[in-house]
């Protein structure tokens, strides 16, 4: 937003959001279509929610299982296969 301020201190929020949308990775654009943020703060909040979701999914694995449990299960399977 600092760059927007340097270009135009009176830039409307709609134009700021438009610039933010243009810089989005393609896999995030659907959030803008669904939630239609009208301010930079709303835009940021939506993107932070997605980031938190991604971090949560990575922390617990894609299947929602705790990585420790997954590792223990794989270890047990290896042990059973070797017997």
pTM for the model: 0.64
Per-residue confidence (pLDDT) for residue 37, from 0 to 100: 94
Q: What is the pLDDT of residues 62-71, one digit of tens each?
A: 555 555 555 5
Collect all residues with Cβ–Cβ distance below 8 Å to 11 and sequence separation of at least 6. 4, 5
Q: What is the C-alpha separation between 71 and 73, in angstroms, rounded?
A: 5
Distances (CA, A) of 81 to 2, 11, 67, 70, 71: 59, 65, 21, 16, 15
Residue 29: CA count within 13 A, CB half-sphere: 9
Q: What is the pLDDT of residues 33-66, one digit of tens each?
A: 999 999 999 999 999 998 898 888 877 765 555 5
């Amino acid at each position: 937003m600092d760059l927007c301020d340097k270009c135009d201190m009176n830039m409307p929020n709609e134009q700021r959001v438009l610039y933010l949308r243009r810089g989005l990775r393609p896999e995030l654009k659907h959030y803008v279509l669904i939630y239609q943020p009208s301010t930079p703060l709303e835009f940021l909040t939506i993107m932070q929610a997605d980031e938190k979701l991604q971090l949560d999914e990575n922390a617990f694995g894609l299947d929602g299982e705790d990585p420790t449990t997954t590792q223990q299960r794989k270890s047990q399977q290896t042990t059973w296969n070797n017997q």
